[in-house]
Structure 1
Amino acid sequence: MHMTSAPHLLSEDRPEFDRLLDEALRTAHDRPELATLGERLNAEQLRTMAMGARALLTAAAAAEYDHYVKVREDLRDEALSAPRTTGDEDTGLDAGGGAGAGAVVAVLAPVLAGTAMLIFLLIGYSLKLIEPEPAFAETMLTAGWLFGALTVAGLLFAVIGLLVTAVRNGSTEVPAQETVSIPDELSRAREAWRHALLERGIVPFLRDALADPSAGPGYPVPRTPRAGRIPDLGYTRPDFTSPGSTSQGPRPGYTPPDFTSPDFGGPDREPE
């Protein structure tokens, strides 16, 4: 996915911004517009101010940065989509597998032979201390010294193998390049962005900061009057008043309902 606008730098490009800023501060006395560095603001103060306004400074070179990022992403996509050749890799794996097996044998043979030598010699000399001496004590010692000879032979074989491998690799080794080659298009896009960021963003910012007597570590963030704790939201509170006394207004007039008890008479008398 390509970026269409870049108000903020990607993480991999932020060190480049820091390097350009340090370079501008280091060579400030070579520029007439920055010659007053150190009279009112020092390099560390300017650097703090510029780091706080990084988004503003990078926006001055947004077009060049967009082009640089697009070219870089295109080259990465091409590298990922390029077909990989498997012939050389398979040959390398086969050769590496054979060399790996030989190295394992060359390392394990002396270790195993030396371990066996120690075991047999230790058992043989321990048996010679027993009275009467067992008949197979000499056999254990003979086996121990035999494994000792195998250990020496294995060590010599390992050393010779290492020397031969070093000579072979040295004759076929391809000298590594000191620097990774960068495509011309990417290099041009990167230099264009660096130049625009330095000349249209960083240097003008430092020049304005040095020329503005009111500039401080908070520049260029404008200072606005401090607002009240409760902002005016555009409406008034409802007017709640406590009920007034009887003298402040007429009381609601009503009469209680006229409840009369039913007139009950005798059983022969009709109610009225």
Structure 2
Amino acid sequence: MHMNSAPHLLSEDRADFERILDDVLRNAHDRPDLTSVGERLNTEQLRTMALNATAPITTAAAAEYEHYRKIREESRSPGPSVPVRDSVLEPDASEPTGSGAGLTAVVTVLLPVLGGTAAVIFLLVGYLLKALSRPPAFADSLVAVGWFFGAVTAIGILAAATGLLITALRNSSTQLPAEEPTGGELPDEVARAREAWRHALLERGLLPFLRAALADPSTDPAAPPPRSIKHLPKIGYSRPDFTSPDEGATTGQRPSFTSPDFTSPDFGGPDHPPE
């Protein structure tokens, strides 16, 4: 028993298979060996037959397809990490680090919060005191202090926004571009492997299948795909031939058995000899 296995056509490659098939059928009358398309089998019937026989057709280009898949998977696998400059990962020794940078970040964040809170409190209390019939003398001072903290809050917000903008620009300048190609373009090696597979699929798979289907007058479009097409391997299992134990044996007479002859116990001893 033996088996010829067809390669598993990935779903992303089935579109290529159908595209090549449609192109061949669309330009069938430009090929001398396919000029009979439409006489007995039309393009839609041939397309259905070819789609049902995807496995044997793709087997004809199995080597090219496996090479194409291998090259494509290698191109998609992440490559070795790109070393980043030390100046990006490690700060310069001459620049202040550690607690200085942390203190600056804390002040930048807390200054707008604390300044805004103080401004609201001083302004609220100052204007409430000024609303009295006889406002105290320090009411104007509270209002002035509140406006001062309001200005500090505005300056803190502006400084924080500037710092965020500078950080974003610095990070974008040190970001590494993606290595994988975009826009649907393939690397040269992958493109060559794909083209080799498509060519083998056309010349050794689709065209022989279509020629065999058109040349066979007994081909039924509604029947399962033919399994013995020229230039295409036969897919499936070969059943071993088993013979019956009685097959081929020389037929003779069956053995017969005879029952033993038993004599009647008609004897009377030594005085009576048997009859």
User: When the two structures are superposed, what TM-score results if normalisation uses the length of structure 1?
Assistant: 0.49
User: When the two structures are superposed, what TM-score results if normalisation uses the length of structure 2?
Assistant: 0.49
Structure with the higher helix share, 1 or 2: 1
